[in-house]
Amino acid sequence: MSRGSSPLAPKSSSRPPKYHLFVPDAAPPITPEKSHPVVHAIISNWRRLTGGKAVRDADRRTLIACSGGADSSALVLALATQPASIVVAHIVHDMRPEADSARCLDAARFLAESIGVPFDSARIEAKALEGNYEAAARGLRYAALEQLALRHGCRSIATAHHAEDQLETILLRLIRGTGPKGLAAIRAKRRLPSGLMVVRPMLSLTREHARRLCRDCHWSWSEDATNADVSHKRAAIRAEVLPRLLEIEPQAALRAVDAARLSMLAADHLGRAAGALARASKTADRERFDRATLRSADRIVLLTWLRTLHAGASFRVLDSIARIVRSNSGEPREWSLGENTIRLTRDELCVRRKK
């Protein structure tokens, strides 16, 4: 290794085929050494995200969401060095043909059985639900993983989101006009309603790191054909934008991870400041807020608080309201923000939920 080079820098190699067909009677993968640089990075991140040095590995029991693809297979292979601490799970959804679903399910099951760890699966159906299918499927998928984790006594759920996923998410949110909270994108960990923690030990790694580990373990992963459906924005960005962007700047994904961390710190700081502003300006009537206190706040803090009233509001609308709140105008004004009606007078701002 050259001086100053990173042990995780992607190695140059010929590109793998676009799709891998999983062969049920394929040879089982080789369990990697803990010293493998990708394995070492994943295990270190997993331990940090699940309690750090204060928690024994035996108490980190984790459900790994495995699609059968390269990314989640790499996560399973890395944590296979801690077999007593993991359970592998696969969620079958109705987005793709039954044959493709069965192939991915078989790949995930075979991988788990090959390394000798428990396996479980669940099925979700989101097509019949109204609204955004991808969002509905994501919600159902996490709910199913949560139930499987509780069934197996797991304290955490690990997903294989990596640096390119982070970059894709940032780009998607940029074109939607997001703020600091949106630019924080995929967080390394978040708590579910049940108290279980979702952890993402691969956010600091790239897609090529995952594929390298799979190849080093002689594992031929399955590929979800829906990833090639560029009618979905994320798939289009993945297929058409990221390759060109990474040609221009090969480190773009890893730098996006750093940018997301900085945005997360900024968003968390603004969230705390907005909460303090709401508490300081609230009057005896819980729906009314003192305008003088709101006026004295930094503009970005006031904007952050207004966004809590309707997360989907555009910056243009929120900034217009903030400018009037901060002005000296005593003219009564009224706005509709999502499920709330906001009425501004000379001295107060009143927030009422629509009936």
Q: Which residues constitute the domain of residue 313?
A: 282-353
pTM (2 d.p.): 0.85
- Dihedral sign for Cα 304, 305, 311, 314, please: negative
Kindly report, residue by residue over 89-131, the tens digit of the pLDDT.
Answer: 999 987 777 888 888 999 999 999 999 999 999 998 877 777 6
Q: Is residue 174 part of a domain?
A: no
pLDDT at 18 over 50: no
pLDDT at 20 over 50: no
- 95 three-state secondary structure: coil
| Chosen domain end from 219, 238, 257 | 238
Q: Is residue 2 part of a domain?
A: no
Amino acid found at 165 = D
Examine the domain organization and report whether 229 and 309 are in the same domain.
Answer: no
Examine the domain organization and report whether 140 and 229 are in the same domain.
Answer: yes
Examine the domain organization and report whether 201 and 79 are in the same domain.
Answer: yes
Examine the domain organization and report whether 134 and 210 are in the same domain.
Answer: yes
- pLDDT given for residue 7 in this prediction: 43
Instruction: Could you list the beta-strand ranges (E) of 49-199.
Output: 62-65, 86-92, 119-123, 156-158, 189-191, 197-199
